[in-house]
Amino acid sequence: MIDHIQALHLAAGVFLLTAVGALWRRQLPAKVRLLVVQGVALAAMIGIIGAQRADLELLAVALGLGVLRAGVMPALIRRALVPLPQEQRETRPVVDVATSLLAAALLTLLAYAVTRPLVALDPTPITAVLPVAVAVVLIGFFTLTTRRRALSQMVGFLLLDNGITATAFLAAGGIPLVVEVGVSFDVLLIVLVLQMLTRRLRATVGTTDLNELRELRD
């Protein structure tokens, strides 16, 4: 029987590994599957904190966020997936996969360094997991800047957002509900906007490869 803290660490481990996995895999459907797993891990982390504090509101929030991040968002991204073999694979990334994985390792180390003041403010077993959440934020940022498929960038954006949500719950037990609802709604709309833009890109430009869009520059 594992206790709450061990379960939390397990979920956090899955949370980080899925982010690294999304960076590693080049097949877009595989990335979306990893996003589903990450959404479940995020909901589990929030649920474990809620269970430990016997906080019903937090458990409800965990359930809601789980549905959103593991269900609705990946489904939206999947709808932007083009059923053509050449469109389902990552194009030549700006940084190749081996270097990306090395970068992910370095970013994780960086996350441990920058979160030291955050953990120091309230050193508990829960805030000890904060570096993992920040590492996912950094990996999401890295994915966004180095991947050139519209869909990969959406995945990167969601990694970034999952990391930020995890930070909120690990550090402060979540932000006020009014703001949390506003934030979740905004993120959902951003993903919808990106999904519609991807479809228009596909209709107008004929591909979702952002390397094809290089006309606006000085």
Among 194, 207, 209, 211, binds another protein (CB under 8 A): 194
Q: Are 7 and 48 in contact (CB under 8 A)?
A: yes
Of 30-38, 53-61, 82-90, 188-196: span binding another protein (CB under 8 A): 188-196
Of 7-15, 56-64, 105-113, 187-195: span binding another protein (CB under 8 A): 187-195
Tell me if 57 contacts another protein by CB under 8 A.
Answer: no
C-alpha Rg value of the chain to the nearest Å: 18
Choose among 30, 33, 32, 35: nearest CA to 19: 35
CB of 176 to another protein, least distance (A): 4
Tell me if 149 contacts another protein by CB under 8 A.
Answer: no
Q: What is the length of the chain? A: 218
- CA dist 19 and 24 (Å) reads 9
Beta bridge partners of 209: 149
168 Cβ contact partners less than 8 Å away, ≥ 6 residues apart = 174, 175, 180
Of 69-77, 79-87, 99-107, 207-215: span binding another protein (CB under 8 A): 207-215
Map tokens 């934020």 to a residue.
137
Identify residues 159-178 at the interface with another protein (CB under 8 A). 160-161, 164, 167-168, 171-172, 175-178
Tell me if 94 contacts another protein by CB under 8 A.
Answer: no
Beta bridge partners of 89: 27
- The full DSSP string for 123-143 is --TTGGGHHHHHHHHHHHHHH
> How many residues belong to the site for another protein (CB under 8 A)?
45
Give 3 or 177: the residue with its C-beta nearer to another protein: 177
Identify residues 109-138 at the interface with another protein (CB under 8 A). 114, 117-118, 120-122, 137
CA angle 161, 163, 166 (to 5 degrees): 110
Binding site for another protein (CB under 8 A): 114, 117-118, 120-122, 137, 141, 144, 150, 153, 157, 160-161, 164, 167-168, 171-172, 175-179, 182-183, 185-186, 189-190, 193-194, 196-197, 200-201, 204-205, 210, 213-218
